Amino acid sequence: MSHEHKLAIFRGTLKFKSNTQKIWGVLIFLSIVTTIEVALGITKPEILVANTFIGMKLLNWIFIILTLVKAYYIAWDFMHLRDEKSSLRRAIVWTPIFLVSYLIFILLFEADYIYNVFKDGFIQWNF
Amino acid sequence: MDSTITTGAEEENVWGGGNRPLGASYGKLMMWFFIVSDALTFSGFLAAYGFSRFKFIETWPIADQVFTHVPFIHGNFPMYYVAFMTFILIMSSVTMVLAVDAGHKMMKNKAILYMFLTIIGGAIFVGSQAWEWATFIKGDYGALETKGGRILQFVKADTGERAALADFSKEIPSERVTQELNNAVWYSSEASLPSYTVNEVTEGFLADPNILIRTETITEDGEKTLLTREESLTKIKDAKLVVEGANLIRNEYGSRLFADFFFFITGFHGFHVFSGVVINIIIFFNIILGTYERRGHYEMVEKVGLYWHFVDLVWVFVFTFFYLV
């Protein structure tokens, strides 16, 4: 039983000496990302709130991207997917990504349609 | 490559069966199966939340204005406590990885210590969530509901702060009391009455020119619409009900679905954390008893660790979609 861990993160730019060190490194990284998220959530910079991209505020895009970054490091280093065979990794990661993207796409489109029905319909909802 | 614990035969025999093409044990694969399916369940909830939110995009409550409390401290602190909870959960995830790492190296005492810290972290998180629920259910300012089920909140005109119903409502003596099972004609009881009647709130509102109404509708700046005094005076005539706090039917924060999803998603997640803590406690005692020492490997710690990290992973998403976005 050997315990070889892949000890480099950020595509090899940051290398750790031991697995324990890597764990603390990842923790620091995750804490920084969370702090950035909370800071942005509290200050809400004007530029990020005023501008939108595909119907959503830039701020919200940043939140979602940072969340996915956090999810990546939790799955890769805490759940040590980095050390698993790539076939297992792909089976675990791509299955939900495919299904969830489809679900989100279809539900959000439908929701937007219903929103417009409520808005443009002849029935008054706000009274 | 073989960094994780292997328990099966090491020889690979292509046609003889018993191959392990994914290089992981049966138990670990099954844990991953469970995690993927559970991830789809949570995605279903969050996608449903997104659906309802996009449907009522103009009137959805703003999380900053709902979750503003920190235990033992008064004041307006949006987000801080949830951020703290997130940090606690990530921290307990770290101690879990350290426990798995110690298990790999067959260091029993270290594994015990780290498992213990993980359990403590999980307990703090569940406790915080219970507190968060209690605060949410209790509510703080109170609001009125209109005939159409919209929520009207109150704001002080001079400071721009929220006004609680207790700040301006008039006490009007009334004989209306909560109907209990034993004194009702048809032996049906009712939920406890709110602290004020619609009439008391309306009278108080009319008497105090400093109070304005804030509606659910979000303006282009991303803030809730604040009505002028004249508009407020017309709007208050629509009021039908006093709403304090939140339940599954109505809540003082705005859209009814908001509270429903809050209870459902954070409740389901909290249930996962709770079961995680229970499982961690079982594993903790198994380590102390030396079960894995005798078995020769600590794979059980690793499998439970996978579940625990998954719970953390889900919280990262819940945090983003419920509190930040």
pLDDT in tens, chain B (325 residues): 445 555 555 555 677 777 777 888 889 999 999 999 999 999 999 999 999 999 998 899 998 888 888 888 887 888 889 989 999 999 999 999 999 999 999 999 999 999 999 999 999 999 999 999 999 999 889 999 998 889 999 999 988 888 999 888 888 887 777 777 777 666 677 777 788 888 899 999 999 999 999 999 888 877 888 999 999 999 999 899 999 999 999 899 989 999 999 999 999 999 999 999 999 999 999 999 999 999 998 999 999 999 999 999 999 999 999 888 8
Q: Which one is the CATH code of B26-139+258-324: 1.20.120.80, 3.30.420.40, 3.90.550.10, 1.10.260.40?
A: 1.20.120.80
Q: Taking CB atoms and an 8 Å limit, are B22 and A110 in contact across chains?
A: no
Query: With contact defined as beta carbons under 8 Å apart, do B145 and B244 qualify?
Result: no
Closest CA to B306 of B39, B106, B80: B39
Query: In chain B, where are the structural domains located?
Result: 26-139+258-324, 143-244
Q: Which residues of A touch B21 (CB under 8 A)?
A: 85, 87
Residues 35-74 of A with CB under 8 A from B: 35, 37-38, 41-42, 44, 49, 57, 60, 63-64, 66-67, 70-71, 74
Neighbours of B185 (CB within 10 A): 6
Q: Which residues of B touch A20 (CB under 8 A)?
A: 98, 101
- Which tokens hold the place of B108? 């029993």
Strand, coil or helix: A108: helix
- Rounded Cα–Cα distance for residues B191 and B201 (Å): 20
Q: Which residues make Cβ contacts (< 8 Å) with residue B298, sequence separation at least 6?
A: B5, B100, B103, B104, B106, B111, B287, B292
Q: Which residues of A touch B29 (CB under 8 A)?
A: 88
Query: With contact defined as beta carbons under 8 Å apart, do B301 and B26 qualify?
Result: no
Query: In chain A, where are the structural domains located?
Result: 1-83, 85-122
Please, what is the end-to-end C-alpha distance for chain B in angstroms? Answer: 39
- Rounded Cα–Cα distance for residues A27 and A77 (Å): 10
Strand, coil or helix: B186: coil
